[in-house]
Amino acid sequence: MSVAGLESLAAAISVVHIALVKEFKTSREDPTFALLYVGVWTLIELNIAIIFASLPPCL
């Protein structure tokens, strides 16, 4: 998988994260429970960004 493919994966994860934040704002569930999914995707997005930033550019 090339670096461009990995960047596409990071963009897709960001889209999922944004969609969950939008859903959280309009949710009528318990805020603590609804925030769980937003927090998990936030951590996934940050960890993927750190991993991709650490990859050598010749990959």
- Residue 1: pLDDT band (50, 70, 90) is low
Do 10 and 48 form a contact (C-beta atoms < 8 A)?
A: yes
**CA 21 – CA 36 distance, rounded (Å):** 11
**CA 15 – CA 8 distance, rounded (Å):** 11
- The per-residue pLDDT for 58 is 65
Question: Within a domain: residue 59?
Answer: no
How many helices (DSSP H) and strands (DSSP E) are in the chain?
2, 0
Domain count, the chain: 1
Query: DSSP assignment, residue 29?
Result: S
- The per-residue pLDDT for 59 is 54
Could you tell me the residue range of the domain that residue 37 belongs to?
A: 3-54
**CA 20 – CA 14 distance, rounded (Å):** 10
Summarised one tens digit per residue, pLDDT across range 4-59 is: 677 788 888 888 888 888 887 887 878 788 788 888 888 988 888 888 888 777 65
pTM of the predicted structure, to 2 decimals: 0.66
Residue 2 above 80 pLDDT?
A: no
